[in-house]
Amino acid sequence: MVKDRSFGSRLFDTINVSVLGLFGILTILPFIYVISSSFSSVPALWPKDFSLEAYIYIFSADTFTRSLLVSVYITVVGTLIQLCLTSLMAYAVSHKQLPGRQVVLLMVLFTMLFSGGMIPTYFVVKSTGLLDTLWALMIPNAISAFYLIILKNFFQAIPEELKESAKIDGSHEVGIFFRIVLPLSLPAMAAFGLFYAVGIWNQYFSAILYISDASKWPVQVILRQVVIMASGAIGDSTEVEQVVYYSNSIKMAVIVVSTVPILLVYPFLQKHFAKGVLLGSVKG
């Protein structure tokens, strides 16, 4: 520590802290607003007439609890499927000696730039019999081309020597993958797992498209419906007179309940992000 810091350095720190602090506040304020409004009779930063009514209301009907469970289920299972498929494929194409690797990569790259579009994708989902099943929310986007390529590069960066060492000890490729490569890639897996999980958790449009059975809707579909109804911008086919208007606190409570579960995942994964796992693995 340098004791006599210059005025400039202290000024820099002051500005730095206050600007970053301001940004911090700006990001956290909406959360506080939403959470406190959900307990309050009027939207406010601090609850006015504190009540749990909104939460009691949304959990009084099965709809919401059920959709929450659906969301949790597809997020957990879907993320596992996605991580599994993405890492397996990424590992395969990370091998330079794999025949046809360039062609496969080119095809993957192509899907990054061009997608089939909504209706053709719908046909694929329909003809593979996924329609109206929860698989439709997990399978079609099981591998993201972008994550695949990053993960491939990550695998390539793992020193060849480590894999050779395993080979010398008599391990086959699958063993190398599970015993050497995967443990070393935990930070990457954690990161992509999070991305995938958030992606699945937040999806609503595919649910609307592929799932007609209301009991299989994830929470985002319900959330969206509540938010739309609360703002009065109802669908056109509904008569104005017949609409149930949700109060502001119910809207906010639904937002809270549908956001918090996925927020809770962050702290558990965060510790994996900063780990320098490759340090000291290869010497010489």
CB 101, CB 155: distance < 8 Å: no
Question: Which of 225, 252, 253, 256: binder of another protein (CB under 8 A)?
Answer: 225
Region near another protein per CB under 8 A, out of 45-53, 111-119, 153-161, 270-278: 111-119
Query: What is the closest distance, in whole angstroms, from the C-beta atom of residue 59 to another protein in the complex?
Result: 12
Residues that bind another protein (rule: CB under 8 A) add up to a total of: 42
Nearest residue to 218 via CA among 63, 60, 57: 63
Query: DSSP code of 179?
Result: I
By CB under 8 A, is residue 236 in contact with another protein?
yes
Region near another protein per CB under 8 A, out of 10-18, 27-35, 120-128, 133-141: 120-128
Question: Which of 116, 129, 159, 175: binder of another protein (CB under 8 A)?
Answer: 116
Residues in region 129-148 near another protein by CB under 8 A: none
Residue 115: half-sphere exposure toward Cβ, Cα within 13 Å: 11
By CB under 8 A, is residue 106 in contact with another protein?
no
Residues contacting residue 226 through CB under 8 Å, at least 6 positions apart: 246, 250, 251, 254
Query: DSSP code of 177?
Result: I
By CB under 8 A, is residue 232 in contact with another protein?
yes
By CB under 8 A, is residue 224 in contact with another protein?
yes
CA distances from 261 to 76, 202, 219 (A): 12, 11, 11
Give whichever of 176 and 257 is closer to another protein, judged by the CB atom.
Answer: 257
Question: Which of 209, 262, 265, 269: binder of another protein (CB under 8 A)?
Answer: 209
Residues in region 166-205 near another protein by CB under 8 A: 205
Nearest residue to 202 via CA among 59, 71, 53: 71
H-helix or E-strand spanning residue 272: helix 265-273
Give φ, ψ of 143 to 5 degrees.
Answer: -120, 120
Distance CA 195, CA 190 (A): 9
For the window 45-74, what string marks contact with another protein as x by the rule CB under 8 A?
----------------xxx-----------
Distance CA 259, CA 279 (A): 36
Query: What is the closest distance, in whole angstroms, from the C-beta atom of residue 241 to another protein in the complex?
Result: 5
By CB under 8 A, is residue 233 in contact with another protein?
yes
Distance CA 77, CA 84 (A): 11
| Residues of the shown chain interacting with another protein in the complex, contacts defined by CB under 8 A | 61-63, 113-120, 122-123, 126, 205, 208-209, 212-214, 221, 224-225, 228-245, 248
